[in-house]
């Protein structure tokens, strides 16, 4: 007996809800067991990339200890892992094999050498996201894709370990955190964390002659992509934004 479309839809919704709950549980334990959360997130991400990766050359931009590199390689991709900060490569689980230390705004590779780029949660750590977009357009072949995600500044986790003091601003927030909490910050505004907004990134992609926006979604609840069409709401409610971009000729 074939299940009804309604029952199939409910089953799919329950599976997605269960997956989100499990991911949230792992996120809450991220400080004590980061590998469990990031390995799961990497596997989920690679399973939903906009193009096939088996046999393709993929750039893992901002690779850190290599969770996404390993997931991509497990899926059959040929991966070049790149990170600017050598210390990030040595976090639990790292470093990834054949990692390259380089600036995402000045990549040491020829033009049009990659079929795709995965860049997870790196853009908010660069002072020049526009330069990164220029490099995306340069190093991806025409027709190739880039999957870019970042934690937008006004989201509840926008300040990373500065949260929730980031809502006081990039100057007053750290001062309040130091006075009231006193815990050293790994991510400091103006040094290795920079306010980045969804509207800002959408405008930059739209203005770039070499790139075309394919899709924009909240990373952790992609079915609610409607919120990215609402200025203001998207900056708070999205938590983390994903842009899928195509390299045009």
pLDDT at 183: 87
If asked whether residues 7 and 123 sit together in one domain, one would say no
> How many domains does the chain contain in total?
2
In a domain, 145, yes or no: yes
Q: How many residues does the chain have?
A: 249
Distance CA 134, CA 129 (A): 9
If asked whether residues 215 and 237 sit together in one domain, one would say yes
DSSP state of 51: S
pLDDT at 17: 46
Instruction: Give, rounded to a whole angstrom, the gap between the first and last alpha carbons of the chain.
Output: 49
Domain residues for the domain of 20 are 1-32
From the list 137, 154, 159, 164, the residue with the least C-alpha distance to 247 is 137
pLDDT at 249: 84
If asked whether residues 28 and 92 sit together in one domain, one would say no
Distance CA 134, CA 243 (A): 15
If asked whether residues 85 and 205 sit together in one domain, one would say yes
If asked whether residues 14 and 121 sit together in one domain, one would say no
If asked whether residues 28 and 39 sit together in one domain, one would say no
CA 44 to chain CA centroid, nearest Å: 12
If asked whether residues 17 and 126 sit together in one domain, one would say no
If asked whether residues 93 and 116 sit together in one domain, one would say yes
What are 45's two structure tokens?
């991400």
Q: Which residues of the chain have pLDDT under 70?
A: 1-34
In a domain, 105, yes or no: yes
If asked whether residues 4 and 47 sit together in one domain, one would say no
pLDDT at 20: 53
If asked whether residues 2 and 111 sit together in one domain, one would say no
User: Nearest 5 degrees, angle CA 116-CA 98-CA 126?
Assistant: 60
pLDDT at 26: 46
Residue 163: burial class (beta carbons within 10 Å; 0-12, 13-18, 19+): middle
If asked whether residues 100 and 219 sit together in one domain, one would say yes
Helix (H) / strand (E) containing 61: strand 57-61
Instruction: Tell me if 33 sits within 8 A of 39, measured CB to CB.
Output: no
Helix (H) / strand (E) containing 47: helix 34-47
Distance CA 188, CA 194 (A): 8
pLDDT at 13: 41
In a domain, 186, yes or no: no
Distance CA 49, CA 162 (A): 30
One DSSP character per residue, 212-243 reads EEEEEEESS-GGGGGGGGSTTHHHHH-SSEEE
Distance CA 236, CA 249 (A): 34
In a domain, 165, yes or no: no
| This prediction's pTM | 0.87
Instruction: Tell me if 218 sits within 8 A of 224, measured CB to CB.
Output: yes
In a domain, 177, yes or no: no
In a domain, 183, yes or no: no
If asked whether residues 21 and 76 sit together in one domain, one would say no
Q: What are phi and psi of 142, to 5 degrees?
A: -55, 130
Distance CA 164, CA 154 (A): 10
In a domain, 229, yes or no: yes
In a domain, 172, yes or no: no
CA 89 to chain CA centroid, nearest Å: 16
What is the CATH classification number for the domain harbouring 235? 3.40.50.150
């Amino acid at each position: 007996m074939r299940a009804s479309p309604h029952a199939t839809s409910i089953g799919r919704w329950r599976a997605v809800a269960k997956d989100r709950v499990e991911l949230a549980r792992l996120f809450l334990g991220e400080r004590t067991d980061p590998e469990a959360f990031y390995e799961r997130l990497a596997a989920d991400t690679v399973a939903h990339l906009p193009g096939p990766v088996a046999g393709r050359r993929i750039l893992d931009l901002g690779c850190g200890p290599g969770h996404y590199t390993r997931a991509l390689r497990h899926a059959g991709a040929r991966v070049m892992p790149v990170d600017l900060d050598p210390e990030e490569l040595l976090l639990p689980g790292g470093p990834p094999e054949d990692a390259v230390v380089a600036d995402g705004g000045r990549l040491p590779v020829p033009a049009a050498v990659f079929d795709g780029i995965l860049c997870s949660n790196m853009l908010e750590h660069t002072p020049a996201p526009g330069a990164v977009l220029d490099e995306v357009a340069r190093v991806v072949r025409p027709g190739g894709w880039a999957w870019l995600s970042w934690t937008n500044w006004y989201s509840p986790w926008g300040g990373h370990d500065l949260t929730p003091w980031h809502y006081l601003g990039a100057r007053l927030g750290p001062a309040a955190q130091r006075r009231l909490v006193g815990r050293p910050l790994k991510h400091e505004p103006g040094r290795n964390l920079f306010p980045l907004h969804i509207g800002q990134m959408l405008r930059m992609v739209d203005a770039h002659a070499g790139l075309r926006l394919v899709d924009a979604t909240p990373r952790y609840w992609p079915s609610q992509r409607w919120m990215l069409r609402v200025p203001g709401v998207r900056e708070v409610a999205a938590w983390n934004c994903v842009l899928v971009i195509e390299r045009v000729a």
